[in-house]
A and B are shown apart, each in its own frame.
Chain A
């Protein structure tokens, strides 16, 4: 093979060809499944495309569903920069939503902007606290952050359910228990010209900020150092506890924010329907995006599109709404399993002479 072609192939293999190949394999497996249950895969794929991206209506639907996924994806991707696997996004989302509902009702007589910033701010802070607990437990008690975040997640969901069924229940909400409404006037509106609320903008802006910070600032460098080798980072003068707990807290803030946005832009109160699996899907979004905040945006939109297609599959082809969950499940399994192929295509590696790597001897820790 010509060296130039080889180099080009090598440069796109890991980041592009493997995930796209896995995507195709996943679609193929799903097509086989559809054939087995006696439907036409072509019909299903075409309907899903239409339901997710085919019209401006379905595209807007997709973006509304992608908005929380971007933030819950970031909730996993940010702590991952510091070497943590935190999977409690669902719980941070729940407590964020709960606190946003409380604050939204408390501020019902203040100006709309005050109430909105209050809800989002308090939601984010609550989520940050929830994740910071896991970071703190890891560094000061040696408790694995993955399991503690999973446990805290269910504690958070139970707390939300308790509050909306018990002390904070709006007596007017009979069938679907909820907190008292924040009031229509204080709901976060839509982006002008679209049926998509501003939560999408908030999510994308957050992802871009995190991406830029990780890429262009010493904060990113410090996080990577802490995540790569905590002892070495400590030696280099970094306060590992600060960075670990901080990264966890920022991730939690993203999850809490997504809960607050669901309250402030979609539901208008905190209720149990807010715990709809965004936190768990966010984990997979982050893993498929390889914890890259920029890629999280696109992966979230893709899976938001698949989610959005569920209704149309049900209406047009009379298929269960779980069809899209099966498709997502297959895609997740195949794409995550394809990670094993990363770096396996040795024959494509160009022969290079080793360049000496000159590392900065000390990393200045930004004053906090």
Chain B
């Protein structure tokens, strides 16, 4: 951060925050888009933190052994999809509590990733290259601030695609109806449980990819302290964004900016405020919940079958 801000004077802070926000928001964006689809189908996956960490480990390992960071991203997504599949199937069983299963997966994913990732702490795997969007500027600072990572751009495209998919496509409609009313979905001939399982697989895939961002782009190595709770924060983010993919994009930028302000403040000598900023996304989400719900009406935009908001 400091090398970016030096020499820009007063502009240092906003430039650093924007660069940091883009970088910090990418895992939020990917995980929340996946969870958005899962929750739209009426399921919640609280285990995404475990999926994210597994994705980070698997992505790094695959990149190390194949020599290709993009194969790493793919491997991370596949591992995430498998975990999503397991979660989706288990939660489809009668009487099985999706919240408890989610928290178990959080534990299991973390444990497995730490166990299997032990040999990955030392070696350096190939990481993702950024795309220089700052080529137009003469300022080296602007250039380095606009080194945008490809996964962020993929996330933006995905957010727009999902937005239209929910509005205009048969698949989008099917997920929305399954999530809003099982009875209506059955009446229309949609298969509720397979739809939910697929939506959870999709969510797991994106959470895995989000994890690979951490190990393959920023910070760009594998360690046990890699995740600072982005997986669980993304679950809150989906609620904050009220189940809209485009709002997930803005909310990710906002949450990312909150995270990026911390190091910027730290560079300016304010050390402890950082921790309060960490809580900001949770405070904002709680605020949104309190403002938009009432005992007679659930939060606007919420899928009707979602246990968490009923």
Contacts and interface: CB of A to CB of B under 8 A. Distances in A.
A87 interface: yes
Given A137-B290, A144-B310, A322-B114, A339 B90 contact: no
A366 interface: no
Interface stretch (A62-70, A252-260, A325-333): A325-333
Given A142-B298, A150-B232, A166 B279 contact: no
A280 B106 contact: yes
Given A139-B295, A148-B289, A329-B104, A320 B97 contact: no
A326 B239 CA distance: 30
B294 A142 contact: yes
Interface in B94-140: 94-97, 99-101, 103-116, 118
Nearest to A153: B282
Contacts of A159: 275-276, 279
B297 interface: yes
A330 B103 contact: no
A342 B50 CA distance: 27
Given A141-B290, A329-B104, A337 B279 contact: no
Interface string A132-176: 000001011111101110111011001101100111010000000
Given A141-B295, A340-B93, A161 B100 contact: no
A336 interface: yes
A283 B100 contact: yes
B300 interface: no
B105 A336 contact: no
A137 B309 CA distance: 12
Contacts of A147: 236, 239, 289, 308-309
A297 interface: no
A318 B291 CA distance: 53
Which of B232, B239, B286 has the most CB atoms of chain A within a 10 A radius of its CB? B286
B308 to A, nearest CB: 5
A85 interface: yes
A166 B93 CA distance: 47
Contact of A329 (B111, B233, B274, B308): B111
A146 B90 CA distance: 20
A81 interface: no
B236 to A, nearest CB: 6
Given A144-B310, A154-B282, A329-B111, A336 B104 contact: yes
Interface string A159-199: 10110011101000000000000000000000000000000
A340 B278 CA distance: 38
A224 B137 CA distance: 67
Contact of A162 (B106, B111, B275, B308): B275
A148 B239 CA distance: 11
A340 B94 contact: yes
A326 B272 contact: no
Nearest to A342: B95
A151 B236 contact: yes
Interface residues of B, number: 56
A329 B298 contact: no
B302 to A, nearest CB: 10
B290 A339 contact: no
Given A151-B236, A162-B275, A336 B308 contact: no
B237 to A, nearest CB: 11
A336 B96 contact: yes
A284 interface: yes
Contacts of A161: 275, 278
Contacts of A158: 275-276, 278-279, 282
A323 interface: yes
A141 B282 contact: no
Contact of B95 (A322, A328, A332, A339): A339
A40 B110 CA distance: 23
B276 A280 contact: no
Contacts of B232: 150, 154
A333 B232 CA distance: 18
Contacts of A146: 99, 308
A332 B289 contact: no
A155 B287 CA distance: 12
Contacts of A323: 111, 115
A287 interface: yes
Interface in B153-183: none
A151 B90 contact: no
Contact of B107 (A37, A154, A162, A329): A329
Contact of B276 (A139, A162, A330, A339): A162
B293 interface: yes
B2 interface: no
Contacts of A152: 282, 286
A146 B239 CA distance: 13
Contacts of A322: 110-115, 118
B7 interface: no
B104 A333 contact: yes
A326 B108 contact: yes
Interface string B238-253: 0100000000000000
A157 B163 CA distance: 34
Interface centre among B93, B273, B282 (most CB of A within 10 A): B282
A333 B101 contact: yes
Given A151-B286, A154-B279, A326-B108, A283 B95 contact: no
B22 to A, nearest CB: 23
13 contacts: A85-B99, A87-B103, A141-B290, A150-B235, A151-B282, A154-B229, A161-B275, A165-B274, A281-B107, A284-B107, A321-B114, A325-B111, A329-B50
Interface of B: 46, 50, 86, 90, 93-97, 99-101, 103-116, 118, 229, 232-233, 235-236, 239, 271-276, 278-279, 282-283, 285-286, 289-290, 293-298, 308-310
